[in-house]
């Protein structure tokens, strides 16, 4: 390993078997469970058919000391598999990974915790798994508990913890081992907003100490804020490794025009109408993907038909990064009558001033029959960001200023 590299991966690959009694051995518990299954079902193994699935294939890259790299990709792209290999939770099928430095990892809720033990006991257990001595854990114990914010529950069995409490305590332990290399998965989204901010600030402090960070997230704002470089994984292979803006652009392009996850009633080839493009502009017609709070947006939706469609109802939905439907615009609900359409065409929506809080949003496009009847097509469109220095999801989904009165000795007066 070169002296300035913290991580080196060469042709890193991980293969799993599907449709077989062989299980994924990501943890010691998985291995033990699989061995028991083999003993109980030894005679039945021949009935299963083995099919190879490569969760990760030929991943080759290097990360310098002090570098912060985002790992992005659609669900199932191999992101978590990569971090599990680097953190030695699972072994690669092929290839090698070399790590130089003390590693802290938070990859899934409660990793390394024992269900029946208390929070206090699990701090010592997880700390030992991460390589901390008992004396070091004892010295940092109060700080860890304070950081996690669960002092009143530290002697409660963790099986009674919420997922948020789990992740707060797990992150607090991993963070306070003072890692030289920190591996973070999307699991941080389980915590509440205040704790997420605390985690991000801690990560930035590690950056200032020249720590190396690999960060998985679907929140492109967080990726842009922390990582000048991204590795974009697609179907287990590295598609891009380079500047963050370029990688995010490729990722967002690949997200476009796929079928929304909740609608599988018809195959795309059976749709009478389908979306061929979604483009975002400001009110003056300039293409953009970052909008300021209070700015108007133009959404241009291009479509093509396989057969004429009578009075289609075009629907544009803004979906927050956590899957919450933030707002929906409908041509029919807005009193717009669209006649029979055929061939190729386009519709454009001009939104009112966006009151959404700062976050990442995707655009879903639906076409329904008149009267909000059957869905004719449902596809994922573009991704955009709303920007504001103060108004974030701590303020809910949207924010508009209210009018306030305050009571003084002379009665109510309007506040300014």
Counting Cβ atoms within 10 Å, is residue 25 exposed (0-12), middle (13-18) or buried (19+)? middle
Task: Identify which has the larger pLDDT, 393 or 242.
Answer: 242
Whole-number Å distance between alpha carbons of 226 and 186: 14
**Can you tell me the mean pLDDT for 79-88?**
90
Chain mean pLDDT for the chain: 85
> Are residues 355 and 402 in contact, defined by beta-carbon separation less than 8 angstroms?
no
Task: Identify which has the larger pLDDT, 190 or 199.
Answer: 199
Q: How confident is the model at residue 222 (pLDDT cuts 50, 70, 90)?
A: confident
Residue-level pLDDT at 47: 44
Tell me how far CA of residue 232 lies from CA of 116, 186, 196, 244, 321, in angstroms.
Answer: 38, 15, 23, 9, 18
Nearest Cα to 55, choosing from 12, 95, 97? 12
Q: Is 7 helix (H, G, I), strand (E, B) or coil?
A: strand
Predicted confidence (pLDDT) per residue in 279-336, tens digit: 999 999 999 989 999 999 999 999 999 999 999 999 999 998 767 889 999 999 999 9
Whole-number Å distance between alpha carbons of 278 and 300: 6
Q: How confident is the model at residue 188 (pLDDT cuts 50, 70, 90)?
A: low
Q: Which residues contact 290 (CB under 8 A, 6 or more apart)?
A: 384, 385, 387
Task: Identify which has the larger pLDDT, 310 or 396.
Answer: 310
Q: Where are the domains of the chain?
A: 5-253, 257-395
- Using the predicted structure, report yes or no on whether residue 220 has a pLDDT greater than 60: yes
Whole-prediction pTM value? 0.63
CATH of domain 5-253: 3.40.50.300
Task: Identify which has the larger pLDDT, 113 or 191.
Answer: 113
- Using the predicted structure, report yes or no on whether residue 20 has a pLDDT greater than 50: no
Query: Is domain 257-395 in CATH 3.30.70.100, yes or no?
Result: no
Predicted confidence (pLDDT) per residue in 243-285, tens digit: 999 998 888 777 778 888 778 778 888 999 999 999 999 999 9
């Amino acid at each position: 390993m070169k002296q300035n590299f913290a991580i080196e991966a060469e042709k890193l690959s991980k293969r799993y078997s599907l449709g077989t009694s062989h299980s994924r051995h990501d943890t010691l518990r998985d291995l033990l469970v699989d061995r028991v299954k083999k003993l109980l079902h030894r005679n039945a193994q021949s009935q299963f058919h083995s099919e190879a699935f490569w969760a990760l294939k030929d991943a080759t890259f290097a990360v310098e000391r002090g570098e912060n790299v985002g790992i992005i990709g659609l669900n199932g792209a191999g992101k978590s598999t990569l971090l599990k290999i680097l953190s030695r939770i699972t072994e690669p099928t092929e290839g090698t990974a070399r790590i130089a430095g003390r590693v802290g990892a938070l990859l899934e809720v409660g990793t390394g915790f024992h269900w029946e033990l208390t929070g206090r006991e699990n701090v010592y257990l997880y700390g030992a798994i991460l390589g901390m001595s008992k004396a070091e854990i004892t010295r940092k114990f109060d700080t860890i508990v304070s950081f996690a914010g669960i002092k009143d529950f530290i002697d409660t069995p963790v099986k009674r913890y919420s997922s948020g409490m789990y992740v707060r305590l797990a992150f607090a332990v991993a963070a306070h081992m003072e890692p030289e290399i920190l591996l973070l998965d999307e699991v941080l989204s389980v915590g509440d907003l205040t704790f997420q901010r605390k985690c991000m600030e801690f990560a930035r402090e590690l950056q200032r100490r020249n720590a190396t960070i690999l960060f998985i997230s679907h929140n492109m704002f967080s990726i842009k804020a922390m990582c000048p470089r991204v590795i974009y994984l697609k179907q287990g292979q590295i598609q891009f490794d380079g500047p963050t803006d370029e990688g995010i652009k490729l990722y967002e392009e690949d997200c476009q025009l796929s079928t929304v996850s909740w609608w599988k009633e018809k195959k795309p080839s059976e749709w009478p109408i389908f979306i061929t493009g979604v483009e975002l502009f400001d009110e003056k017609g300039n293409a953009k993907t970052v909008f300021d709070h209070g700015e108007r947006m133009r959404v241009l939706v291009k479509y093509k038909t396989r057969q004429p469609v009578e009075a289609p109802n075009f629907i544009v939905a803004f979906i927050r990064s956590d899957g919450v439907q933030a707002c929906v615009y409908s041509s029919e609900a807005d009193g717009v009558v669209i006649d029979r359409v055929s061939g190729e065409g386009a519709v454009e929506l001009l939104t009112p001033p966006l009151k959404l809080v700062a976050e990442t949003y995707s655009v879903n496009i639906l076409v329904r029959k008149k009267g909000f009847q059957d869905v004719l097509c449902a596809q994922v469109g573009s991704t955009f960001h709303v920007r504001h220095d103060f108004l974030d999801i701590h303020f809910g989904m949207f924010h508009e200023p209210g009018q306030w009165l305050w009571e003084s000795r002379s009665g109510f007066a309007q506040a300014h």
